[in-house]
């Protein structure tokens, strides 16, 4: 023996949640959709909660993502390939955002807001002599948070 498992003929599930990909050998191909969802919750523990709305899609022979809605769809997907490539979408998103991504997006949005404010300020008409520039009526610049 060479120490490798014989997985020939067995179903392999490759499940992806964001950039985390897991390879799972399946011994019982009569798996139901609900069992698959529970398996994904166990495999992606900490990233996938029981109250999350999960959409599971598989990649077909044309590399299209096909939604698995029920056990019938799952059975068809299993018949199509011995290696089932799944992508999980949580609450409509392909993956949960990591805190570093949220911080990056926040910085980008703040920078964009500042650029818009500067552009709006450059479009304001000149002020009347003797009045401070912020004493005028509220402008669109003042209304942007």
Q: Which CATH number do you get for residue 58?
A: 3.10.20.90
Q: Which residue is it, tokens 């798996």?
A: 31
Q: Which two tokens stand for residue 130?
A: 């003797």
> Is 34 within the bounds of a domain?
yes
Question: What pLDDT was estimated at residue 57?
Answer: 94
> Is 61 within the bounds of a domain?
yes
Closest CA to 17 of 91, 121, 89, 105: 89
- Tell me: the pLDDT tens digits for 9-41? 688 999 999 888 999 998 878 889 999 999 999
> Is 132 within the bounds of a domain?
no
What is the number of domains present in the chain?
1
> Is 103 within the bounds of a domain?
no
Measure CA 145 to chain center.
27
> Is 116 within the bounds of a domain?
no
- Tell me: the pLDDT tens digits for 76-89? 999 888 899 999 99
Torsion angle of C-alpha atoms 97, 100, 103, 105, degrees rounded to 10: -50
> Is 35 within the bounds of a domain?
yes
Quote the domain boundaries for residue 58: 12-94
- Tell me: the pLDDT tens digits for 88-137? 998 876 655 556 667 788 888 999 999 998 888 888 776 666 655 555 55
> Is 77 within the bounds of a domain?
yes
> Is 144 within the bounds of a domain?
no
Contacts by 136-142 with C-beta closer than 8 Å and gap 24+?
141/117
Question: What pLDDT was estimated at residue 91?
Answer: 80
C-beta of residue 56 within 8 angstroms of C-beta of residue 40: yes
């Amino acid at each position: 023996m060479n120490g490798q498992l014989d997985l020939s003929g067995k179903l392999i599930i490759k499940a992806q949640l964001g950039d985390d990909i897991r390879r799972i050998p399946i011994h019982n191909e009569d798996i139901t959709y609900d069992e698959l969802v529970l398996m994904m919750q166990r495999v992606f523990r900490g990233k996938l909660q029981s109250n999350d709305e999960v959409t599971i899609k598989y990649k077909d022979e044309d590399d299209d993502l096909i939604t698995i809605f029920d056990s019938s769809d799952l059975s068809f997907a299993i018949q199509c390939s011995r290696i089932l490539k799944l992508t999980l979408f949580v609450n409509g998103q392909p993956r949960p955002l990591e805190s570093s991504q949220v911080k990056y997006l926040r910085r980008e949005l703040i920078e964009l807001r500042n650029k818009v404010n500067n552009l709006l300020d450059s479009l304001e008409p000149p002020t009347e002599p003797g009045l401070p520039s912020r004493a005028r009526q509220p402008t669109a610049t003042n209304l942007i948070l």
